[in-house]
Structure 1
Amino acid sequence: MKIAIGSDHGGFDMKEIVAAFLRDLGHEVEDAGCYSKDSVDYPEIANKVCKLVQEGSCPQGILICGTGIGISIAANRHRDIRAALCHEAYTARMSRQHNNANILCFGGRVLGIEVALDVVGTWLETAFEGGRHQRRIDMLS
């Protein structure tokens, strides 16, 4: 699967680790920036990843900032984007099973590497349950 990934400067180091992890799992990675630790505005990065998901070139995306909060708020301003801020495997699993989240967000300064990779792996391997959950998602459109 092709996965879009992006971060601001606060999530840059974690983005690089997650991108390598995704490639090791056999995924193609579309890196939307940032490309260094120089300060950038997280809404611009969120816009790039959301556009890739909205257009369908990447069915899923991952966004990382310092806390995950700002970048998740920015992502959820986009139509048809369901960005979930997840801090451990349970919320990652539920964001896919019940909410069909198409963008995963977390904080590069909040999660350690091991937990972050567990969150990403769980999120990617979890399928949407549909049913009553789809009806609820339809209410958001």
Structure 2
Amino acid sequence: MAKTVDLILGSDHRGRDLKYEISDWLSGDDESGTLFNITTMWDCGTHKIDSCDYPDVVKKFAEYFDIYTHGILICGSGFGVSIAANRFPYIRANVCRTAQEVKAGRQHNDMNVLCIGADFTSYKQAQRLISTFISTEFEGGRHLRRVKKLGKIT
């Protein structure tokens, strides 16, 4: 049986439009949601065009993340949401610009949150990043030992 994906999305005002495109693609008529076996998808905000602070969006995202298997956060650069997300011990977030970076993050670091910079990432690039993010499995092995140590860093 194929793994199921429960996905949470979040963005600040600069990532909002790209987030909506991604959300439409993943739940749209092209059946991508079925392709990726997405069983649950929730957009935790922002839904306004007004300026907002990415730490507030990430805090809400993190409050609900435990019921999701994958997360996507988007801001202008991707860096702000990544820094904020990695303050939570159960989140392993990386900013990725290429599918190769996503693959390495998933395989070696068990990355569970993909951070995207809307100012640097086209919709087509985002589709490639997300496809790789959802389809790539964590390798475990020696990497598991290292990932477990992340939860013990204080």
Residue among 46, 53, 61 paired with 1:41: 53
Match of 2:9 in 1: 5
Question: Is the counterpart of residue 20 in structure 1 residue 24 in structure 2?
Answer: yes
Matched residues in 1 for 2:105 and 2:60: separation?
22
- Cα offset, 1:25, TM superposition: 1.8
- Cα offset, 1:125, TM superposition: 0.3
Structure 2 counterpart SS, 1:80: coil
User: What's the RMSD between the two structures over aligned residues?
Assistant: 1.0
Question: Is the counterpart of residue 77 in structure 1 residue 84 in structure 2?
Answer: no
Matches within 5 A, 1:30-69: 30-53=42-65, 55=66, 57-69=67-79
Gaps of 5+ in 1: none
Match of 2:140 in 1: 130
- Cα offset, 1:51, TM superposition: 2.1
Size of the aligned set, in residue pairs, is: 139
Larger Rg: 2
Question: Is the counterpart of residue 109 in structure 1 residue 137 in structure 2?
Answer: no
Matched residues in 2 for 1:84 and 1:21: separation?
22
Structure 1 counterpart SS, 2:74: strand
Gaps of 5+ in 2: none
TM-score, scaled to structure 1: 0.94
Matched residues in 2 for 1:51 and 1:95: separation?
23
Match of 2:41 in 1: 29
- Cα offset, 1:29, TM superposition: 1.5
Matched residues in 1 for 2:75 and 2:64: separation?
18
Matched residues in 2 for 1:9 and 1:124: separation?
24
Give the % identical residues.
40
